[in-house]
Each structure stands twice: as C-alpha cells, then as structure tokens.
C-alpha cells in the first residue's frame, strides 16, 4: 500500500542505488546547460554589443531573438523528458539498464506527447479560470460599489485555484508511469488509481518538493551571491530587481567565469537528483498501488 514514507523512501532509494546513472543524467543536464548558454552568448552580444542598455529595460532586439530562446527551451524540455523517462525505467524496468537507462524510442515519444497535451490543456484551463475569477470579481465590485469585495473574492479565488491545481496534479501524477508501463498514453487510469489516496501521494510529493527547494536555494546562494547582495542593498525595490537582473544577465551571457562553470556543475548535479527523485517518486507510487507491472496492465485491461 502506498504511503508518504514509501514514496519518499522509493525516490531516495533510486538516488542511492543508481549513482552512476544519475551522474550520467547530470552530465547530460550539464551539456544542455552549456549548449544553451553558448547559443545565447552570440545572441546577447549581437543585440547589446556586450554591454547593457544605458536606458535600462530589455536589450535591443530582444523580441527578435525570442524565437531562438523558445526553441532552446523546447529542446531542453524534450531532453528533460527523456531523462525523466529514464528515471522511471530505472524503477519499473531495472533490467533495461543500457546506458544509464536512457533510450530514444516510443516510450520517450509518448512521454513527450503526453507532456505537451497536459501542458496545453493546463494553460487553456488556467486562462479560463483566471478570466472567470476576474469577471466575477469585477461584477462583485460593481454590485458592492467598492473594490474591497473584489479584492477579497479575487484573493479567495486565487487560493482556491491553487488548491484545485494541486489536486489535479496529484490525481494525474501517475499518468506518466502508467503510460510508460502500458505502452500507450493513458490518463483516466491515473484518476482511478489515485482515488481515495490523495493525501499519502500529496505528502510524498510535498516532501520531495521541499528537499529540492532547499537544494536549489543552496545552489542560488552559492552561485548568485552578488545578485542577492545587490538586492539586499537595494531594499528589494523594483529598481533593485531591474538593475541586479540586468547585471546578472550581462554576467551570465557576456562572459564565462570560473564561478559560472561551478554554477553549471552544481546546478546539473541538483537537476539530475531532482529528475531521479521526481521520477522515482511517481514510479514507486505506481508500483506500491498496483504491484508488479504485469498485474497493473491486467487491472486496467
């Protein structure tokens, strides 16, 4: 039976038992980071001449280079899904080790397709929900003749929206390992399998999320100390955020320093651990809920 403890233990067991595979995932993560930064270096230099705009704001030609940035982000997303699939393979099909459980086949294509479908559906639903909250908030403001009612409604609406998003994410979290096991995209089975098991799943995912949050805060503190110090000196004002952000971007995309390389390496390590923990968590949850993969297939056929 699934529990918060079993999910967390299963996720960390993957980290403990597959350090070499995670090291390979980290190397791939690092290669993607370096490739992305080197691709953006000439773009940034071409639009700024290696310097920040004197008047502030975005660099000249930023929007013309947005297509390149979006393509890079899409490529990184596809690569992360390949690694995420590898992390689930390490738990659900450990015999298919290969090179750090990484493959390029139909399993990966299905995962990518599922990610795109869920991502598009999520943003469409989010836009509709936000528009509904804004509309009813406006109607309340008109009816009450004051903005206080609107602000209260919008605040409660946003909190409710966050709760609903978390609920849907937990209920659909097993879609990825189920799709991997069954060899076809499935969504409804996750809804069925997680019925009545929200809190154990949520607890396990929350612990994993908090661990990763602490790790990423440590990475940011170690690699972006100057940025954080400048924000603190500026009192976290909008001007401080803008100025520090511009200088941080200039440092990141105009020169490669030793600290930049260290940041890449540490970030890749934490990124690989995050992939292992997240993939291990959902794969462990499926295995605990349905037993072995053959029983799981029979349950839903």
Return d(Cα 242, Cα 252) in angstroms, integer: 15
Q: What are phi and psi of 185, to 5 degrees?
A: -70, 125
Look up the domain containing 236 and give its range. 4-125+197-300
- 154 contacts 137 by C-beta, under 8 angstroms: yes
What per-residue confidence (pLDDT) applies to 97? 80
Cβ neighbours of residue 280 under 8 Å, at least 6 residues apart? 10, 11, 12, 13, 14, 15, 87, 88, 90, 91
In a domain, 49, yes or no: yes
Task: Answer whether 0.85 is exceeded by the pTM.
Answer: no
The confidence score (pLDDT) of residue 300 equals 37
Q: Output the six-digit token pair for 134.
A: 């804004």
**Residues 193, 174: contact at Cβ < 8 Å?**
yes
What dihedral do alpha carbons 70, 76, 78, 84 form, nearest 10°? -140
Percentages of the chain per state (helix, strand, coil), in multiples of 5 = 80, 0, 20
Distance CA(14)–CA(277), nearest Å, equals: 7
Instruction: Classify residue 258 as exposed, middle or buried by CB count within 10 Å of its CB (0-12, 13-18, 19+).
Output: exposed
3-state secondary structure of 32: helix
In a domain, 184, yes or no: no
User: Torsion-angle region of residue 17: left (phi > 0), alpha (psi -120 to 50) or beta?
Assistant: alpha
Neighbours of 158 (CB within 10 A): 13
* pLDDT of 146: 66
In a domain, 285, yes or no: yes
pLDDT, residue 299, reads 43
167 located within any domain: no
List the chain pLDDT tens, one digit each, 301 residues. 789 999 999 999 999 999 999 999 999 999 988 887 776 665 555 555 544 454 445 555 555 566 667 777 788 889 999 999 999 999 999 998 888 999 999 999 999 999 999 999 999 999 999 888 888 877 777 777 666 777 777 888 889 999 999 999 999 999 999 999 999 999 989 999 999 999 999 999 999 999 999 998 888 777 766 655 655 665 555 555 555 555 555 555 556 677 778 888 898 999 999 999 999 999 999 988 876 544 554 443 3
Domain-embedded: residue 171:
no
Residue 37 lies in a domain: yes
C-alpha distances (whole Å) from 230 to each of 77, 151, 224, 259 are 31, 33, 10, 17
pLDDT of 194: 92
For residue 146, give Cα distances in angstroms to 51, 141, 263: 48, 5, 50
Residue 119 inside a domain? The answer is yes
Q: Is 27 contained in some domain? A: yes
Q: Structural domain tally of the chain?
A: 1
| Residue 82 · residue 104 · CB < 8 Å | yes
Are 264 and 30 within 8 A, CB to CB? yes
Residues 195/205, Cβ–Cβ less than 8 Å: no
Phi, psi (rounded to 5 degrees) for 196? 75, 5
Which two three-digit tokens encode residue 204? 């396990």
> Where does residue 67 rank: exposed (0-12), middle (13-18), buried (19+ CB within 10 A)?
exposed
Nearest Cα neighbor of 175 from 85, 255, 236 is 85
- CA 166, chain centre distance (Å): 14
């Amino acid at each position: 039976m699934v529990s918060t403890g079993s999910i967390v233990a299963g996720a960390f067991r993957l980290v403990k038992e597959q350090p070499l595979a995670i090291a390979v995932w980290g190397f791939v993560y690092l290669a993607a980071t370096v490739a992305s930064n080197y691709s953006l270096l000439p773009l940034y230099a071409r639009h700024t001449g290696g310097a920040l705009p004197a008047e502030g704001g975005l660099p000249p030609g930023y929007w013309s280079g947005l297509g390149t940035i979006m393509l890079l982000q899409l490529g990184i997303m596809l690569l992360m899904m390949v690694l995420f699939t590898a992390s689930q393979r390490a738990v659900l099909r450990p015999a298919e080790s290969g090179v750090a459980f990484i493959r390029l086949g139909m399993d990966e294509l299905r995962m990518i397709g599922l990610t795109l479908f869920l991502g598009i559906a999520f943003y469409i639903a989010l836009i509709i929900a936000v528009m509904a909250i804004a509309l009813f908030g406006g109607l309340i403001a008109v009816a009450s003749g004051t903005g206080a009612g609107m602000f209260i409604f919008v605040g409660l609406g946003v909190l409710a929206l966050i709760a609903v998003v978390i609920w849907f994410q937990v209920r659909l979290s097993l879609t990825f390992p189920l799709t991997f096991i069954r060899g076809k995209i499935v969504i409804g089975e996750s809804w069925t399998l997680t019925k009545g098991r929200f809190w154990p799943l949520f607890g396990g995912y929350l612990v994993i999320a908090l661990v990763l949050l602490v790790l990423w805060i440590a990475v940011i503190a170690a690699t972006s100390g100057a940025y954080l110090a400048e924000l603190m000196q500026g009192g976290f004002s909008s001007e401080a955020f803008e100025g520090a952000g511009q200088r941080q971007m200039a440092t990141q995309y105009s020169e490669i320093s030793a600290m930049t390389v260290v940041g890449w390496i540490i970030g890749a390590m934490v990124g690989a651990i995050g992939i292992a923990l997240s993939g291990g968590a959902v794969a462990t949850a499926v295995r605990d809920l349905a037993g072995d993969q053959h029983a799981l297939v029979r349950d839903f056929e």
